[in-house]
Amino acid sequence: MLRIDTTGAKHPASVLLGGVNNNRWHDDSLGLWDPEAGHGVPDAVEKTARAGVSSIRYPGGTQANLFDWKRAVGPLDDRECQVDGGNGTPRDSRYGPDEHMTFTGETGARASIMVPFANETPADAADWVEYMNAPAGTNPRGGVAWADLRAANGHRKPYGVEHWEVGNEHDRPEQRYWMSSSPSEAMQQYAFGGTQRQLDQPVGTACDHRDSASYSNGSADSSFQVHYPPVVEDSQAVYVDGEKWRAVDDLEGAGPDDEVYTFDPRTGRVAFGDGTHGRIPPEGAQVTADYDSGPHAGFVDFAAAMKKVDPDIDVLATWAPITSQSGLGDRSFPELMADRGERNAYDGLVIHPYTNFRRDFGDALESAQQGHDWHMLGEANATELVRQARKDVRRYGGKGSYITTTEFGALFFGPHDASAYPSWNTAMSHALYMASQWARWSELGLPWAEGNTLVAEEPQGLRAVLGGAPGFAYTSEAVVRQQLQPFLTGGGKVVPHQLVGNPQVSTDPTDLGSSYDGLVGTTTVDRDGQLNVLVVNRMSTRAADVTVVPGGFTHTGTVTASTVAGEDFTSFNNLDHPDDVRIERSERQVGSTAFDHTFPAHSVTLLRLDPAR
């Protein structure tokens, strides 16, 4: 039985839960953008709009952690390269902030922005806010008139971006960059800034942090750059194939065999001689460095500088561990900020509550059913992570501070064997996971949310709304997003409900338990007075017969239903069979009070009832 109390109200119903992370800006945002035409690829624009994506994050997550926005504005020929924050690879800047805002405008979505923390400064972040949000003709920070530059680049009207994050997943050990390997020390550095010793770090260039960039090609006047400037003056030691060379102020006075270099602590640039004034590092020799990276500013400095430009924006912190390895269970970021008198320094906290199959269950699937069960067990754990983070923010955060997520989903991170369920990442199991999360975010009162990701790297689709270019397959997730638009955009209020006798699904024992709820749901009364009942049946083979009791709601007696299920929980859409998962719609008379409804196996169902006038 599903009991609904429409006379109550838990909180307002958000209209921004259907956002998405766009996790790659480079390569024209994986083919979403047509640089010659100056607009989004029409097919991608149409499908993104059809899926009802409410907001799109830019420039992304891990890969964007070293992004420099100033290199990505202005004429294309004048733009500079970027470095990939995930693997250190050089990347292009063709899809910049202006291109992203054009794409979001074409699709009807808003934008959120992730401001890189590891390589940017509070001044850089504040300049970005000014570029995006200040009216042309104003110059809040003095210096470069960034709003006028935006206007000169063809966009006079301010973009009005409201949601800004600082950094991405720096609690994760692999995304610390200049920060300490200790979670507690790194959290302090993220919050308040600091300096950290770097040891035996291969050097690179401004756009290439791969180890291969640290090797000399034997040319004269070669230069390199340490990864994380600025550098504390005189703290550096530079080595060529393990031999320490000597720093000098000027190479002009050096002889041809002198093993010397010059160093700029502001930029981290290491410059070698030409064979006449200073020895040339031998071809194939690796250049490494020890140095103190810093001093760096912290989140509080970023947030203060950004809010000074535009007090109306939300600036969100991103230190929210989801594993003990990254600090879960230790003193939290909200607790640290409260202890330091900074509970009001952040408007919200972002968490990425990913289900990581390799971490949580194992690296090989024995069957499709096991893969399905892992999705649902992981979804419950992800919800609990968000619930606990919300509790923490409510206890220690300032008035009005909130929790949200800009990446969520279920993935194998790293090598794995999914041959027993090859379509796991785009099948109904995945769509049920995402729909369950939207229902949970509705119940928890998240004001906005973004899942991962908008477009896949491969044409056949990977954990994405759309498959990769050029076909942009309309995935099962996209179909469900389209189906749920009345709920996701209807506004109004979330009203209490209770699933009485919710069936439990038993699984093989795992570290995350051995059973999960068969049904997940949420109920809203939207701004037009319609009752929306969202029910996700996660049972892979069993339908659920449920009596729906809309307490306090007198309706017309007609229920409109939309259902997405496919023939099987493994059903999916791709370019070869684009409509295996689709929306089925129906309407029936049920009387004016309680009624029975059958929710098919592996289905997402939205019931809508009009109020009696």
What are the pLDDT digits (tens) for 256-306? 999 999 999 999 999 999 999 999 999 999 999 999 999 999 999 999 999
For the chain, give the mean pLDDT: 97
Domains 14-188+297-490 and 497-611 share a fold: no
Secondary-structure breakdown of the chain: helix, strand, coil percentages, each rounded to the nearest 5:
25, 30, 45
| Neighbour order of strands in the sheet with 243-247 | 194-202, 287-296, 237-240, 243-247, 260-264, 269-271, 223-225
Q: Which CATH architecture has domain 497-611?
A: Sandwich (2.60)
pLDDT at 92: 98
Closest C-alpha among 548, 584, 552 to residue 566? 584
What is the C-alpha separation between 250 and 262, in angstroms, rounded? 6
Please check whether residue 563 is in contact with residue 604, taking contact to mean a CB–CB distance below 8 angstroms: yes
In the predicted model, what is the mean pLDDT of residues 243-256? 97
| 431 token code pair | 């769509």
Please write the tens of the pLDDT for every residue from 34-78: 999 999 999 999 999 999 999 999 999 999 999 999 999 999 999
Neighbours of 542 (CB within 10 A): 13
Q: What percent of the chain has pLDDT over 90?
A: 98
pLDDT bin (cut points 50, 70, 90) of residue 460 is: low
What would the two tokens of residue 441 be? 């975010």
* Per-residue pLDDT band at 462 (split at 50, 70, 90): low
Q: What's the whole-number mean pLDDT along residues 108-128?
A: 98
pLDDT at 591: 86
Strands in 241-313 per DSSP E: 243-247, 260-264, 269-271, 287-296
Q: How far apart are the first and last CA of the chain?
A: 26
Does residue 461 have a pLDDT over 60?
Answer: no
C-alpha distance from residue 130 to each of 98, 159, 261, 380, 538 (Å): 13, 10, 39, 40, 46
Retrieve residue 294's tokens: 């810093």
pLDDT value, residue 152: 98
How much is the pLDDT for 206?
Answer: 93
Q: Per CATH, the architecture of 14-188+297-490 is what?
A: Alpha-Beta Barrel (3.20)
d(CA 192, CA 211): 30
Residue 439 has pLDDT above 60, yes or no: yes
**Are 453 and 23 in contact, with CB atoms under 8 Å apart?**
yes
Burial environment of residue 138 by CB neighbours within 10 A (0 to 12, 13 to 18, 19 or more): middle
Closest CA to 21 of 409, 462, 451, 478: 451
For the purposes of burial, counting CB atoms within 10 Å of the CB of 532, is it exposed (0-12), middle (13-18) or buried (19 or more)? buried
For tokens 């926005």, the residue is 69
- The residues spanned by each domain of the chain are 14-188+297-490, 195-295, 497-611
The residues, any chain, with a CB within 8 Å of residue 218's CB and separated by 6 or more, are 280, 281, 282, 283, 284
**427/421 Cα distance (integer angstroms):** 9
CB-CB contact of 603 with 563 (8 Å) = yes
> Would you say 275 and 237 are in contact if contact means Cβ atoms under 8 Å apart?
no
Residue 137 has pLDDT above 90, yes or no: yes
* Greater model confidence, 460 or 485: 485
What proportion of the chain, given as a percentage, has pLDDT over 70?
A: 100
Per-residue model confidence as pLDDT tens digits over 4-39: 999 999 999 999 999 999 989 999 999 999 999 999
Residue 249 has pLDDT above 70, yes or no: yes
Over range 242-250, report the average pLDDT. Answer: 98
- 266 burial (CB, 10 Å; 0-12 / 13-18 / 19+) is exposed
pLDDT (tens digit per residue) in 493-547: 999 999 999 999 999 999 999 999 999 999 999 999 999 999 999 999 999 999 9
Tell me which amino acid residue 478 is: A
Please tell me what DSSP assigns to residue 444. H
Q: Where are the beta strands (DSSP E) in 248-340?
A: 260-264, 269-271, 287-296, 314-317
